[in-house]
């Protein structure tokens, strides 16, 4: 069934929600980065049940963070180009339709940006969950950690920040405050990973709405041209 009514209002609402979610994503990732460069660097005292206390560096030797950079890029694109850019595109689109009864070229450019932003979010979502899954399920070997005390970083394995600090919490940390701070920041790390799902869903909904609106406008314009040709042809 053909769409007769404009979808600019639901597009605007979805764009607003996407921008808010993108801002949340950027905030959570930035919080993780700040933690890694400050408190998360450690070292943290550990008291093995059958050994002498020692210090463990706050980050492992093989810490992977590219998934965080990708998520940051997806959030930034969704906020700046889709969110703020959408405000301009939708305003110009309304103005163009009201004055000249046609679409603004900026709206079509923005529609392409919405598509590219959705693809970037999809890549970030898949990459992050795959990387987390591939590096998950590991534990920190106290023997290896004790043999490589801080400032030497734990040498074994390959870790995402989320998996590393989850494993760190399984150790007998001496300071309860360390456990509290690490646990709080671990929650934010898990938060930005799962927030990518919401960003993906909102991006998909926006892409569908924009695609339907572009299709509706193009179909309407085609019908107008066809009708003009019929009315303008005396033989018809």
- Considering the chain, what percentage of its residues have pLDDT values greater than 70? 92
CA distance 32 to 160: 12
Q: What is the pLDDT of residue 122?
A: 98
CA distance 34 to 23: 16
Is residue 193 a part of any domain in this protein? yes
In this structure, what token pair is assigned to residue 26?
């950027």
Is residue 234 a part of any domain in this protein? no
CA distance 131 to 138: 13
Is residue 215 a part of any domain in this protein? yes
Q: Whole-structure pTM over 0.85, yes or no?
A: yes
Q: What is the pLDDT of residue 235?
A: 43
CA distance 119 to 122: 5
User: What is the number of domains present in the chain?
Assistant: 1
- Looking at per-residue pLDDT, the higher value among 234 and 8 belongs to 8
CA distance 145 to 123: 34
CA distance 75 to 71: 6
pLDDT above 70 for 226: no
Is residue 50 a part of any domain in this protein? yes
C-beta of residue 194 within 8 angstroms of C-beta of residue 116:
no
Q: What is the pLDDT of residue 151?
A: 87
Residue 78, phi then psi, degrees to nearest 5: -65, -35
In this structure, what token pair is assigned to residue 144?
């290896």
Q: Tell me the torsion sign for CA atoms 96, 94, 79, 134.
A: negative
Q: Which domain holds residue 39?
A: 19-219
63 DSSP β-pair partners: 159
pLDDT above 70 for 3: no
Four-CA torsion 48, 53, 57, 62, nearest 10 degrees:
-40
DSSP label at residue 62: S
Q: What is the pLDDT of residue 138?
A: 94
Q: What is the pLDDT of residue 6?
A: 84
Please compute the mean of the pLDDT values over residues 86-99 and round it to a whole number. Answer: 92
CA distance 73 to 79: 10
pLDDT above 80 for 177: yes
pLDDT band at 234 (very low <50, low <70, confident <90, very high): very low
E strand or H helix that includes residue 135 = none
Is residue 231 a part of any domain in this protein? no
C-beta of residue 78 within 8 angstroms of C-beta of residue 19:
yes
Three-class DSSP category at 53? coil
Is residue 179 a part of any domain in this protein? yes
Please compute the mean of the pLDDT values over residues 54-66 and round it to a whole number. Answer: 95
Is residue 233 a part of any domain in this protein? no
CA distance 183 to 146: 22
pLDDT above 70 for 135: yes
pLDDT above 60 for 228: no
Is residue 225 a part of any domain in this protein? no
Please compute the mean of the pLDDT values over residues 41-62 and round it to a whole number. Answer: 92
In this structure, what token pair is assigned to residue 121?
């979010």
């Amino acid at each position: 069934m053909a769409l007769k009514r404009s979808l600019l209002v639901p597009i605007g609402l979805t764009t607003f929600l996407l921008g808010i979610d993108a801002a949340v994503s950027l905030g959570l990732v930035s919080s993780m980065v700040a933690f890694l460069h400050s408190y998360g660097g450690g070292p943290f005292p550990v008291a093995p049940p059958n050994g002498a206390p020692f210090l463990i560096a706050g980050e492992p030797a093989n810490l992977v963070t590219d998934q965080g950079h990708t998520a940051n890029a997806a959030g930034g694109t969704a906020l700046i180009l889709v969110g703020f850019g959408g405000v301009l595109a939708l305003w110009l689109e309304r103005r163009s339709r009201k004055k000249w009864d046609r679409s603004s070229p900026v709206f079509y450019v923005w529609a392409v940006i919405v598509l590219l932003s959705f693809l970037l979010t999809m890549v970030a979502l898949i990459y992050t969950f795959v990387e987390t899954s591939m590096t998950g399920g590991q534990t920190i070997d106290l023997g290896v950690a004790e043999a490589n005390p801080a400032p030497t970083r734990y040498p074994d394995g390959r870790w995402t920040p989320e998996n590393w600090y989850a494993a760190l919490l399984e150790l007998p940390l001496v300071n309860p405050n360390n456990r509290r701070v690490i646990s709080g920041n671990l929650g934010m790390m898990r938060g930005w990973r799962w927030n990518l799902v919401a960003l993906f869903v909102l991006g998909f909904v926006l892409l569908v709405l924009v695609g339907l609106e572009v299709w509706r406008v193009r179909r309407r314009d085609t019908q107008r041209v066809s009708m003009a040709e019929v009315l303008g042809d005396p033989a018809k």
